[in-house]
A = this chain, B = another copy of it.
Amino acid sequence: MARIVGVGEVLVEMMATAPGQGFRAPGLFAGPYPSGAPAIFIDQAARMGASTALIACAGDDDFGRCVLDRLRANGVDISHIRAVPDVATGIAFVCYRADGGRDFIFHMGNAAAGRLTMDDIAPAAFDGCDVLHIMGSSLFAPEMGAVMRRALALTQAAGGKLSFDPNVRLELLTRPGNADLIRELTARAHYLLPSEADLAFLFPGMAPDDAARRLLDGPAACVFLKRGAAGSSYFDRNGSFDMPAFAVTEVDPTGAGDCAGATFMACLLEGRTPQDAARRANAAGALAVTRRGPMEGNSMPAELDAMLEGH
């Protein structure tokens, strides 16, 4: 059983219940839902059967326990998630525009999630670590650089590799360090799991396929490109392929890319071919968008089997 260690934020999400509802006047929000891109990823990797651990900071409050309950129930090792006593668990508020876009308000770097330090990167978490997974959303402050470098050093000492999802967020790009750290970790990763938007940030104006191949000029061994409703593509030094999407009706895209990436990585690590891993990742992403909530759309292997059999 491959071991995947995640480092990053746990959040709860509060979701507007009506399309067009905004943040400036009262409405109804559903939540708290367990969230945080690294938490969504690691939850799905655990569901797929990987041995998983998440290193993170939550508040010592019921929002934090809401996330930990979920991760524990799905088999994630939560013993390295620290409960910070004097600041609440981070929160993401999301509203859905009538045009399909989304607006967010975050308490993240200023919340418990922002308290992660080098001291939280416990060597014991990396025993037998095959893959360290990091996401650009976690790079909200320059201090996260030292945290992530230490995690990567421990992973490499254990013979493991870095999996990196640039997960570029416009609201974080203005923060000191965010863009530089995304470039640094992109250049150091063995597995890259970008979206098309991430490639547009890394290589402005370049076609996504060309940008993905460009990433293979560095140490990356493979690129799993998440293309949303267009499916996914895979690139390594032997070639590439496109994997079509499953046609579904989208209810909520939140977390779908994280879920697909985790499925791809867990499948690859358990010895499936890139084609099989990509097909299952697309199935997991499709199921994720049909369900409302950041982590609510994560799937068990039997659900993916059923989805694959149905097509």
A25 — which chain B residues lie within 8 A by C-beta?
32, 66
A31 within 8 Å of B (CB atoms) = yes
Is A209 located at the chain interface by the 8 A CB criterion?
Answer: no
Q: Report the Cα distance A26→B105, complex, angstroms.
A: 19
A235 at the interface (CB under 8 A from B): no
Whether A110 sits at the interface, judged by CB under 8 Å, is: yes
A17 neighbours in B (Cβ, 8 Å): 28
Taken residue by residue from 19 to 32, chain A's Cβ proximity to chain B (1 for < 8 Å, 0 otherwise) reads as 00011111111111
Which of A57-65, A181-189, A219-227, A258-266 lies at the interface? A57-65
| Choice from B23, B32, B87, B91 contacting A62 with Cβ under 8 Å | B23
Q: Does A276 contact B (CB under 8 A)?
A: no
**Which residues from B are CB-within-8-Å of A62?**
22-24, 105
Write out, one digit per residue, whether chain A residues 102-117 have a CB within 8 A of any chain B CB (1) or not (0). Answer: 0001110011000000
The count of identical subunits is 2
Judged by a CB distance under 8 angstroms, whether A164 is at the interface is no
CB neighbours (8 Å) of A59 from chain B are 105
A88 at the interface (CB under 8 A from B): yes
A139 vs chain B, min Cβ distance (A): 15
Q: From residue 70 to 121 of chain A, which have CB atoms closer than 8 A to chain B?
A: 86-89, 91, 105-107, 110-111
Tell me the nearest residue of chain B to A24, going by C-beta. B62
Chain A residues numbered 33-73 whose CB sits less than 8 Å from any CB in chain B: 33, 59, 61-63, 65-66, 69
Is the C-beta of A14 less than 8 angstroms from some C-beta in chain B?
A: yes
> Are the C-beta atoms of A66 and B28 separated by less than 8 Å?
no
Which chain B residues lie closer than 8 Å to A30 at the CB level?
A: 26-29
Top 7 closest pairs, chain A to chain B, by CB: A23-B62, A24-B62, A110-B110, A107-B107, A24-B66, A29-B29, A87-B110
